[in-house]
Structure 1
Amino acid sequence: MHQDIKEILISEEEIEKKCEELGSIINDHYKDAKDPIIFVALLKGSVPFLARLIKYIDLDIEYDFMDVSSYAGTETTRDIRILKDLDRSIKDTNILLVEDIVDTGHTIKAIIKLLENKGAKDVKIVSLLDKPSRREVDVYADFIGFEIPNEFVIGFGLDFNEKYRHLPYVGILKDEIYQ
C-alpha cells in the first residue's frame, strides 16, 4: 500500500470482478442493438476503467474520448470546460458514457446535455464509483460499480493533482496530503 493511503477502499480484485459483472449487465442491456454502441470515456480518470471494462464486452462497440475539466484541487469549480471534444459525429448513436466517479453530478449533467445536443439517440452512464452523498444535481448512473462514502479517493484513474492515478486499487487519501 502506498504511504499516502489511509485505507484501501476497493481492491484490484474487487474492481476486476465488478468490471466482469458490469460487462455482463451492459451486454444484456444492449444485446438487441443494431448499431455499434459508442463508449465515450472522460479523460483521464476513466481510462483504466474503460480498459478493464471492455475486456468483458461482447458487443459491436467503438470508443472515443472527451477531456473535460471542472476541478481545482479537491473542489469542483462548477465551470465545465471542454478541453478535447469527440473526434466523430454521434448523431443518431447510442452512447455509453464511461466515468470514473459520479460525485456532485455537475460534470455528468453538462456532458449529457452536450451529447444530446450533438444528436445522440440515447445516452447511458456507467460509472465505477458513485458518491451519492455529494450529489448536487439530479443525475444518476445507469450502471454503477461501487457506491462509496464521502471520502477523498484516489487510484485506478482517480487523482489528486495528477498523482496516484496508476495505483491498481481505489484508496482513501490521508487527510494531511490534501488539506
Structure 2
Amino acid sequence: KNPVFVVVLNGAFMFAADLLKHITIPCEVTFVKVTSYEGETSTGKVKSLIGLKYDLTDREVVIVEDIVDTGQTIEDIIGQMKQYMPEDIHIATLLYKPEAYTKDIPIEYVALEVPNDFLVGYGLDYDEQGRNLKDIYAIVKEEETIQT
C-alpha cells in the first residue's frame, strides 16, 4: 500500500505543498487540524478541530508538521492515529525547536533546527496573521524599560 501523508493544518499547508512536489513514489494525502496555541503561547492542551477520517490500517503514515516545539501536538496526533492501527508512523517537520521539545517521540525528518523563538510566515501564524508571508520571521518583543 502507498504511504499516507497526514498534513497538519493550518500551518503545514505551504511546507506540505512544496514537500509533496518532491515525493516520487505513489502516495496519498489527507489532512487533520489541531491547535494548541493562543497567541504566541502553547496552551499545552490540544484541541482536535477536524478529526482523522481515513483508513490507516497497516499503512505507513508520515505526519507533516510546520513546526515541532514542545511535542504536545505530535503526541496527541499519534495517540489519535494509533486507534486506526497503522503499520508505522513517521514525522516530517519543516522546523524543530530542540530546546523546547519535551517528548520522547523521535522526529525523523527535520528540514531545519531553530532556536526557541516564536516564528511566523510560510504557513506559521500569529493569531491567524502572517501565514501568507513567503519567508519565516522571528517575532521580537520590545524590551520594557524601567525608569528610575
- Scaled by the length of structure 2, the TM-score of the pair is 0.91
Would you say 1:130 and 2:96 are equivalent positions? Answer: yes
User: 2:107 maps to which residue?
Assistant: 141
Report how many residues are paired. Answer: 142
User: 2:78 maps to which residue?
Assistant: 112
User: 2:138 maps to which residue?
Assistant: 172
Would you say 1:62 and 2:28 are equivalent positions? Answer: yes
Would you say 1:158 and 2:110 are equivalent positions? Answer: no
Of 41-50 and 75-84, deviating more is 75-84
The gaps in structure 1 that reach 5 residues or longer are: 1-34
What amino acid sits opposite 2:111 in the alignment?
Answer: G
Whole-angstrom distance in 2 between the partners of 1:92 and 1:65: 18
Whole-angstrom distance in 2 between the partners of 1:146 and 1:140: 15
CA offset digits 1:61-103 (Å, max 9, x no partner): 1100001111111111121111101232111111000000000
User: 2:146 maps to which residue?
Assistant: none
The gaps in structure 2 that reach 5 residues or longer are: 143-148
Does the residue aligned with 2:137 lie in a helix, a strand or coil?
Answer: strand
CA offset digits 1:96-122 (Å, max 9, x no partner): 000000000011011112111221111
User: 2:41 maps to which residue?
Assistant: 75
Whole-angstrom distance in 2 between the partners of 1:38 and 1:131: 25
Deviation at 1:164, TM superposition (A): 0.5
Does the residue aligned with 2:124 lie in a helix, a strand or coil?
Answer: coil
Would you say 1:94 and 2:57 are equivalent positions? Answer: no
Q: Identity rate of aligned residues, in percent?
A: 35
CA offset digits 1:32-66 (Å, max 9, x no partner): xxx11100000000000000001111011110000
Higher relative contact order (CA 8 A, sep 6+): 1
What amino acid sits opposite 2:9 in the alignment?
Answer: L
Does the residue aligned with 1:132 lie in a helix, a strand or coil?
Answer: coil
Whole-angstrom distance in 1 between the partners of 2:35 and 2:85: 22
CA offset digits 1:1-52 (Å, max 9, x no partner): xxxxxxxxxxxxxxxxxxxxxxxxxxxxxxxxxx111000000000000000
- After superposing on structure 2, the runs of 4+ consecutive aligned residues of structure 1 that deviate more than 4 Å are none
- Scaled by the length of structure 1, the TM-score of the pair is 0.76
